[in-house]
């Protein structure tokens, strides 16, 4: 694989990051994942905008290559011949001379910029979309600024492991009795043809796929309610699903062992998946 590190396109084995990089030592970094379908980037403008916001919320210097990110994405897709897959981008506060809690002087420490691709030939015809996935609920123990897409992914990783141990595919996280989101996706339920998903705030990531799906749903005259919901309400729903750049719209057929609707992917989620895949290409 060819990867991008600080201005250079290199074979992955030759790419190097300092041991003092704050992304490595302190999870002081932000990231984006953009999907690629038929060689084309999906929703890139949204990801670029959220990246700028994440950097600014953390007072991170904007790397010099920021205006060139689209070209860098496209070049990596070309070099690695990605037809279907993902582009991962990470920007950290860089590598100062020593470990220190205080942010380094941006005049002397430049951000570290890394991009790599992941080839996923089955990305858009994932068999899980036909079967649906099972989720469990777990307590949301992440920090309180989940609207910033940081690389602090230990708790989401633990959540995926808890799901796996319980024989499920993923976990929905609960705070003050309400669902925040999935470990790496936004969570939705459908009741009487109304799509219900948590309102935006610091408690969840403002999903780029979420924004697109809600826009398409409204254009198709579907009803949308942005509000919190409980697991009990979700278990009584007609359908449930998740969205993210790597899963698009993915039906959820079981929550904490309770089948949702008929226990098979429902028509509204299937339609939204189709609309998203058609409209966003």
The residues that touch ligand PDD, with contacts defined as CB under 6 A, are: 33, 181, 184-186, 205, 207-210, 243-246
Overall residue count recorded for the chain in this entry: 281
Specify the pairing of strand 178-182 against strand 170-175.
antiparallel
Question: Minimal distance in Å, beta carbon 97 to ligand PDD?
Answer: 31
The helix-helix angle for 208-219 and 267-279 (nearest 10°) equals 110
Question: Minimal distance in Å, beta carbon 4 to ligand PDD?
Answer: 18
Q: How far apart are CA 62 and CA 48, in angstroms?
A: 12
149 class by beta-carbon count within 10 Å (0-12 exposed, 13-18 middle, 19+ buried): buried
Nearer to ligand PDD, 19 or 144 (CB): 144
Nearer to ligand PDD, 25 or 153 (CB): 153
Question: Minimal distance in Å, beta carbon 143 to ligand PDD?
Answer: 12
Catalytic one of 84, 134, 149, 160? 149
CB 3 within 8 A of CB 81: no
Helices (H), 138-230: 154-165, 208-219
Q: How far apart are CA 240 and CA 146, in angstroms?
A: 22
Q: How far apart are CA 263 and CA 132, in angstroms?
A: 9
- Tally the C-alpha atoms within 13 A of residue 153's C-alpha that lie toward its C-beta: 18
Question: Minimal distance in Å, beta carbon 111 to ligand PDD?
Answer: 20
Provide the 3-class DSSP secondary structure of residue 153: coil
Nearer to ligand PDD, 210 or 273 (CB): 210
Catalytic annotation on 49? no
Nearer to ligand PDD, 123 or 245 (CB): 245
| Residues classed as catalytic | 149
């Amino acid at each position: 694989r060819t990867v991008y590190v600080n201005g250079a396109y290199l074979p992955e084995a030759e790419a190097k990051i300092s041991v003092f990089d704050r992304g490595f030592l302190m999870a002081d970094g932000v990231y984006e994942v953009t999907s690629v379908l038929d060689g084309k980037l999906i929703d890139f403008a949204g990801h670029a905008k959220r990246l700028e916001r994440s950097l600014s919320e953390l007072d991170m210097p904007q790397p010099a290559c920021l205006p060139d990110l689209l070209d860098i994405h496209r070049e990596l897709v070309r070099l690695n011949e990605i037809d279907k897959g993902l582009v991962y981008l990470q920007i950290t506060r860089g590598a100062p001379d020593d470990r220190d809690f205080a942010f380094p002087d941006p005049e002397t420490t430049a951000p570290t910029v890394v991009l790599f691709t992941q080839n996923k030939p089955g990305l858009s015809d994932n068999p899980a979309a036909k079967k649906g996935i099972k989720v469990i609920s777990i307590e949301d123990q992440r920090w309180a600024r989940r609207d910033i897409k940081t690389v602090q992914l230990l708790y989401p990783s633990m959540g995926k492991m808890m799901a796996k141990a319980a024989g499920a595919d993923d976990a929905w996280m609960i705070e003050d009795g309400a669902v925040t989101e999935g470990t790496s996706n936004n969570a939705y339920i459908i009741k009487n043809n109304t799509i219900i998903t948590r309102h935006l705030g610091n408690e969840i990531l403002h999903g780029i796929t979420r924004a697109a799906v809600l826009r398409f749903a409204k254009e198709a005259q579907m009803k949308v309610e942005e509000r919190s919901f409980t697991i009990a309400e979700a278990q009584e729903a007609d359908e449930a699903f998740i969205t993210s750049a790597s899963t698009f719209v993915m039906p959820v057929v079981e929550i904490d062992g309770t089948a949702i609707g008929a226990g098979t992917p429902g028509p509204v989620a299937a339609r939204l998946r189709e609309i998203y895949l058609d409209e966003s290409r």
